Amino acid sequence: MNTTKRAFAALAGGALALLFAVGGAQAAQAVQENRDMIRAEVVTTDAQIGTAGVDTTFAETDTFAASAHGCPSGYVCIYSSQYDLDNGIVEHWYSAYGSHQLYDEYGYHYIYNNQTGGAGFTLCQGSFGTDCGGTPRDVGTYYLDLTPYNSIKLVP
């Protein structure tokens, strides 16, 4: 199990324990703090190992300073509801160019394109980035029905 998965498992387990141990508002705050720690771990680990599509020259604070809705600069993020978008609760996030499978995504979702340099994304009905539609390139929020799509493709 790699470092990111171990960190995620440990933090997720801690979040569940806190939910049972503390009251509502305190538990919600603790869960959000754990999510922030997970985000920091994922970005740090990706940069350290030089994952394709991740700019390894950034400082971690630069990435989070430019984030919006909990979506770091250079990423495309998917949210399941307006509440999640408003509160930075990211369902999925992608930073590497190329196709990424979508599993069990039905109905309308918010997609936030926070990529830089005019990079865009496209939704594809086929698996692995085939049979794709248009490519939005503007930074911003898109409200789209994901039901007919099986993959999302990030393009430079």
Same domain as 82, residue 36 = no
**Residue 150 located in a structural domain:** yes
Same domain as 84, residue 20 = no
Domain count of the fold of the chain? 2
Question: Is residue 153 scored above 90 in pLDDT?
Answer: yes
Same domain as 142, residue 102 = yes
Question: pLDDT (tens digit, 9 = 90+) per residue, 37-64?
Answer: 444 433 323 333 333 333 333 333 333 3
Question: pLDDT (tens digit, 9 = 90+) per residue, 99-150?
Answer: 999 999 999 999 999 999 999 999 999 999 999 999 999 999 999 999 999 9
Same domain as 42, residue 75 = no
- 94: tokens are 């992608």
Question: Is residue 11 scored above 70 in pLDDT?
Answer: no
Give me the pLDDT at residue 66, please: 72
Range of the domain at 28: 1-49
Question: Is residue 84 scored above 50 in pLDDT?
Answer: yes
Give me the pLDDT at residue 9, please: 44
pTM (predicted TM-score)? 0.59
Same domain as 39, residue 89 = no
